[in-house]
Amino acid sequence: MVLRGGSRLRRIAFVLAGLALCLGAPPARAVDLPPAPVLDDSDESDGAGWYLRGDIGLDEPVLRHGRDAGTADVPPLAKARLDRETALGAGIGYRLASWLRADLTVDHRFGGPYEGRRFGVSSLAFDRADFQATTVLVNAYLDLPLWSGVTPYLGAGIGIGRNRFDDAARLAGAEAVPLPSGTRTALAWALTGGVAIDLADRLKLDLAYRYTHLGGARTDLEGAQPPLRARSIGTQELRLGLRYAFQ
């Protein structure tokens, strides 16, 4: 019995000693956890920002001439054409997202020669003039960032065009009859496909094909001479440009 009681006392002593150690020990630290992530409320960069552009182009005009039956003294118009011309353009734009941007562009096409041929039963005449046009377009583009540093894109634009025939004349035999110049304002629109190539952090080379519909053009009326008249003028353009982004 004495031994049995001593055994109980030893067990109680061990329990009390363990409790004392637990109470006297410094509190154990919780398991170390990784620090909580810091939330950044700032907007992530999506490439938004302003840019400037400049372009040079070579235009191949597509001309539909208006119906011109001529007069008793001037044979009817049989065929008309516009020669190639050079275009210069500039604009300012804003990138709305990495895949979407828009810009406002102004383009001027310089002095493409116009030639019209008139054939009658017993007469022949030629029309001559210089054609030039200025367009102001609002454009939107869908960028397709498929490869690093090379971005194909598609675009469309709409605006107004100012088309002018200048230095016009009608040649019949040895006689040249001057015709008055004329300027017409028309609806203009464009469809574009191209590729942008990164040259530097903020500078891109822009290579594009663009079809632009310029609208019609005509010289002013004067006397009995039929005017020069183009019902519809379009241009197929190969364009080379640079784009500089401010951000």
- Residue 107 pLDDT > 60, yes or no? yes
Query: What is the percent of the chain with per-residue pLDDT over 70, rounded to a whole number?
Result: 81
The mean-pLDDT minimum among 22-31, 108-117, 152-161, 171-180 falls in 22-31
Mean pLDDT of 184-207: 95
Scanning the structure block, which residue is given the tokens 């942008």? 196
Residues 6+ apart with CB under 8 A from 106: 89, 90, 91, 134, 135, 136
Residues 6+ apart with CB under 8 A from 121: none
pLDDT of residue 229: 87
H or E stretch at 63 = strand 49-65
* pLDDT, averaged across the chain: 83
pLDDT of residue 223: 75
- Residue 18 pLDDT > 60, yes or no? no
Structural class in CATH, domain 49-245: mainly beta
All structural domains of the chain with their residue ranges: 49-245
If one counts every other C-beta atom within 10 angstroms of the C-beta of residue 163, the result is 23
pLDDT of residue 26: 52
Q: Which residue has the higher pLDDT, 111 or 240?
A: 240
- Residue 192 pLDDT > 60, yes or no? yes
- Residue 11 pLDDT > 70, yes or no? no
Scanning the structure block, which residue is given the tokens 């275009």? 87
Stated pTM of the model: 0.76
Catalogue the E-assigned strands of 76-149: 77-82, 85-97, 100-119, 124-143
CA distance 110 to 171: 23
- Residue 180 pLDDT > 80, yes or no? yes
- Residue 176 pLDDT > 60, yes or no? yes
End-to-end CA distance of the chain: 93
